[in-house]
Amino acid sequence: MNRILIDTMHLGKLIQDDNYLELAGSISDGDLEAICSVISLLELTKRLGMRDEDRMRKIRQDLLSSRLVFVNVNRTIAIQAGELRLKYDIPTADSLIAATGIAGNALNILTDDTRHFGPIKNLIKIKTLKQVMDMAKHGR
């Protein structure tokens, strides 16, 4: 089974954007294993909560109740994130998110943030929504 890291920018869309129904279905059906950093919960809480706290809480609860695997930051992830931050000057939150995927053996990340994740494409490959859906359909 494919394992993919999902960046914060795509998390909220899984619940609220019809373009993500197929991806949400693939995760729910177990065709795709999706992992996320708990750091994404922090970012999502801030971004969505500034606009509508009640809606943010509902989306957050829906995500936590889904088949997404939220990974806590541990020592291994913290050390890996520090190395990424040092070597590639990636912002702290993105370093922690990337390190979560690397430590969790996710070969790919669903993100549009090529500025921060581009420098580490040799460690974790950036994928678009379409590419991730193709992976889920074809099992690769």
Q: Is the pLDDT of residue 2 over 90?
A: no
CB-facing half-sphere around the CA of 81: CA atoms within 13 A: 21
Residue type, 77: I
- pLDDT band of residue 138 (cuts 50, 70, 90) is confident
Domains of the chain: 2-138 (3.40.50.1010)
Q: pTM of the prediction?
A: 0.93
Residue type, 41: L
Query: Are 48 and 56 spatial neighbours (Cβ–Cβ below 8 Å)?
Result: yes
Higher pLDDT pick, 82 / 1: 82
Residues 70-128: tens digit of each pLDDT: 999 999 999 999 999 999 999 999 999 999 999 999 999 999 999 999 999 999 999 99
